[in-house]
Amino acid sequence: MDSKNERLAKPIRMVIADVDGTLVTQEKVLTKRAAEAVLHLQQAGIQFSVTSGRPPRGMAMLIDPLKLTQPLAAFNGGVLIEPDLTTVVDQKYLPAGVPDKVIEAIEKHGLDVWLYTDTGWFVRDPNAAHVAREQWTVKFPPTVVKTFGGLLARVAKIVGVSDDY
């Protein structure tokens, strides 16, 4: 057997799936079919985990139903965190100075800023566009802050949000 076929013949040890549109419906509900598929994988000795653009806490609703034991990949891999949602395995924060510039650019265009760290979602206006929808999606409210100043060393994701498009 050549090396390519040998690689293909190795048993699957782990499956990682996206959350939205794969495991949950548009209503953000875990499907019975997805939960059963994960159970079958686990019964076959195949580890399972999830990845998402969501913050870590935004995947909490999947941990118990799917019996997740492997690290979760939040922010599309920007933060790897254990299922306890407190133990960060690895993170790739935005480099120093970048968050300030991104926030400035977003604000220059009249957008609201959402800032995410490994542990939270922060906004300045809880009534801004789409905050309620995001809260419904991730199943937790943002922390409202006057400024983002003390958070800029651990920024994993920044989003500019508006209804003006």
What are the phi and psi torsion angles at 84 (to 5°)?
Answer: -75, -10
Half-sphere exposure of 132 (CA within 13 A, CB side): 3
How confident is the model at residue 1, as a pLDDT? 52
How confident is the model at residue 21, as a pLDDT? 87
The Cα 90–Cα 107 span in angstroms is 30
Three-class SS string for 39-54? HHHHHCCCEEEEECCC
The Cα 41–Cα 15 span in angstroms is 8
The Cα 160–Cα 110 span in angstroms is 9
**pLDDT 10s per residue in the chain (165 long)?**
567 766 677 889 999 999 998 999 999 999 999 999 999 999 999 999 999 999 999 999 999 999 999 999 999 999 999 999 999 999 999 999 999 999 999 999 999 999 999 889 999 999 999 999 999 999 999 999 999 999 999 999 999 999 987
| All structural domains of the chain with their residue ranges | 12-91, 98-161
- pTM value is 0.84
Is 12-91 a domain of CATH 3.40.50.1000? yes
